[in-house]
Each structure stands twice: as C-alpha cells, then as structure tokens.
Amino acid sequence: MRNLLPILLVFLLALTGACGTDAPPTGSAIRGRDSLPVMTTYGVSKLISDSGVVKYKLVAEEWRYYDRTQPARQEFPKGIFMERYDKAFKVDMYLTADTAYCYDNYLWELRGRVFVCERTKGITYSSEQLYWDTRNHRMYSHTYMHIVTPDRDLQGDWFEANDQLSDYHVKQTRGYMPLPQDKSATLPEPGASGSPDSPGAPSSPSTTVESTDSIR
C-alpha cells in the first residue's frame, strides 16, 4: 500500500495541472465591429426634416445604419423612393433607384436604374449612377445619362447640375435641341424653296448635338 501512495500522488498532480489554469478556447471574430450595422430596419417610411421643416419623404424595404464607418453610412440595398417637398409642402421632385447609400447624412449615392423627375419644370433624368449633395444642392454623374426637358432630349457621359435641375451641364452629348428662331428673317414666298408649301421644306426646328462642350 505504501508503494502505491507515491504513484497516486503523481496521478492527482497531473490531473490538477491539466484542468486548473488553461483558459477555454475562443474563436476569432468573423467580422470587425465596423462592418456590422448598428441598426437594420424593414418596411421604412419616414419624413426627413431640415431646421424643423419637413423636406423629404423616404420609403425603402430595408435600411441599414453603420455608425462606426468613416464616414458614417446608411444603406438601402433593396431600393429607395424619395419625395422632396417645396415650401408649400407639395412634391416638386421624386427619385427612385435600385440601391442607395447616404454618407454623413447629406451625400447620397444612387445606383441602378436611377430615375429623377423634377415635376415643376417637367424634367426627367435617368442613369445607372448619380451623386446628390443635399448640403450644397448639387447633382453629378460621370456615367452615361439621359435627360429630357420640354424642349431638349440629351444623352451624355458627364453631368452636373443644381438639384432644381434649372442649371445643368452635359458633356459628350448626343441628342437634339431646338434651333434658335430668327424673328427678323423675311418669310419666303409661298411655293418658294424652303417654304411651308414646298415639298423640300424642313420639319420642326431642332438640331443634333454631338460635342464635348457643356450645355446649359
């Protein structure tokens, strides 16, 4: 029995060392904290105010908010619909896109089937990408775009405008715009070449534009 006692003590010490101080294994994080949204909301319909005045209405199927990214970012991965209100609280513009991102609560990036309609002027804009700086009231895109106004139909690969679409610039343009009317010109005699009664008379006064200059 005395011969077995040292063997038992060694065995007990070995068990104590194996189970006493080792920390439990831990797995590494799959993703960093910055890559996880702090909030995810579904079925969103909200009004957005600026200085206490309601300016926009936003509708989206999914809304993700990231507060630790630089800059802070909101994502709308399943599409977005927005309305803008004028001072009389009437809709003066609306837009849609397949995906949208908002950086620092003022810079929007719209992607995929972007469509903008400025209702008061009857202007529509479409492209696959558009940036909208609501702080500085600017819109811009350096991809293919198409803008239609009551008297112009233009396509291009470079676009900048104010967000009222009252002053816009298009480069690498393709499309048409009306020719300027010269009211001082003398009308031709009936039946003369180029008169409305002549078979060779031109149709509506428009021209094809294809240049690298900007159009305002």
Handedness of CA 24, 28, 30, 32 (dihedral sign): positive
Instruction: Show the domains of the chain with their CATH numbers.
Output: 42-181+205-216 (2.60.450.10)
The first and second tokens of residue 146, run together, are 């198409």
Task: Note down pLDDT in tens along the chain; length 216 residues.
Answer: 556 555 555 555 555 555 555 555 554 544 556 678 999 999 999 999 988 899 999 999 999 999 988 899 999 999 999 999 999 999 999 999 999 999 999 999 999 999 999 999 999 999 999 999 999 999 999 999 999 999 999 999 999 999 999 999 999 888 776 756 554 444 444 444 443 443 444 333 333 344 444 555
Give me the residues paired with residue 50 across strands: 53
E strand residue ranges, the chain: 39-50, 53-66, 73-76, 80-85, 91-97, 99-103, 107-118, 123-133, 138-141, 145-148, 153-156, 158-162, 168-171, 174-178, 206-209
User: Cα–Cα distance between 89 and 58 in angstroms, integer?
Assistant: 15
φ/ψ of 194, rounded to 5, equals: 90, -5
Residue 132 CB neighbour total at 10 angstroms? 21
User: Cα–Cα distance between 79 and 125 in angstroms, integer?
Assistant: 17
pTM exceeding 0.75:
no
